[in-house]
Amino acid sequence: MTRVETSTSLELRGRIVSATSEFDDGVVSIRAGRIDRVRSLADWVAAHPDSIVPPFSGTVLPGLVDIHNHGGFGHRFDTVDGAEARAAAEFHHTHGSTTVLASVVTGAAPDMIAQVAALRSLAAEGTIGGIHAEGPFLAAARCGAQDPRYLRDPDLELTEQLLAAADGHLRVMTLAPELPGFDKVAQRLSDADVVVSLGHSDTDFTRFRQALRPSGFGSLVTHLANGMPPLHHRTPGPAAAALVAAAQRQVVVELIGDGVHVDSGFGALVFATAPERVALITDAMQAAGMPDGEYQLGPQVVHVADGVARIADGSIAGGTAHLLRCLAWAVRECGVPLREAVIAATSVPAAAAGLADVGDLRTDHFADLLIVDDNLQLRRVLRRGQLLT
């Protein structure tokens, strides 16, 4: 169980970096688990002339928002054990991802429905930010570590069962747009305020682009470049279509920033093409934070060697990093400015998944904050105003 230290009132001083606030020396005022004000140190001192100035604590960032996460520290989200799912969420909380969507993968329909139902209570209480269903309506040719035995064409009946099991907490669902029945299921998800994310697709540029906004239902792209044909100048495919839509500010693209799933040069290209339309994610699975060995992702056995997770056929099977490490990769390896990388790990994914009151340092948002040093090493995490230790 994560230990917390509580305080109803707190002043945190440091370099402030977020979507709406940036100060070389500023103060975040916290009251009753919410952000009261964010201002420069000079403005804070003017408003508190008789108060002791808070010590400079480092760089203060919003709590990170990971919208694609399958588990960590030996625990899984694709489970019917609520305690196991809670432990997975708390592992990522203590490493800076104060908001996490719990992702379930393709499995037998009754299993997926039961897993979504088990996660519902954790979403209702705020332990997770909601649920992401990655499958089962995915292309077999690009299934990656998704178990091909359980893939199926988009099905309204199963969609209704998943929506009912989630009881309003299904935030995102990944679908391949070329499959028969896609349009009807995408319409139903959209009507239910579920974000339609396109991924695990083997289609061409035109079909993928048409399925994205503004002509289609897709507003998010699942782990860009993974689970789709490689980007090529004569067959640009889904990756190019996603980048065009993101550059036109019509969609957000997920990017796994663990240094394994995509090369840093490709990461630099994505950020340069679509600034403020990139959502850094971990795609973390059970092995995140754990040593090499054998783990599980849905029905599939996963072998982790040198920190890289793969199933028997060699396909990468999720990530083993936490989101702060992905943020640091964007800065150090891709040359992305710190504020842009912070936005990609906070406000952009929060908005893409329709998450309120998180992802920024602004008045009335939850007091979810990180304090890091100059090397982006974690010093402190506050979630809902409580210090996690």
- Average pLDDT of adjacent 10-residue blocks, the chain of 389 residues: 60 98 98 98 96 97 98 98 98 98 98 98 98 98 97 98 98 98 98 98 98 98 98 98 98 98 98 98 98 96 97 96 98 98 99 98 98 98 94
Beta bridge partners of 293: 304
| Triad 264, 132, 61: Cα angle to 5° | 55
Predicted model pTM: 0.97
pLDDT (0 to 100) of residue 7? 55
pLDDT score of 1: 41
Write down the pLDDT at residue 8. 77
Strand pairing of 386-388 and 71-72?
unpaired
DSSP codes, 199-212:
-S----HHHHHHTB
What span, in angstroms and rounded, lies between the C-alpha atoms of 294 and 287? 8
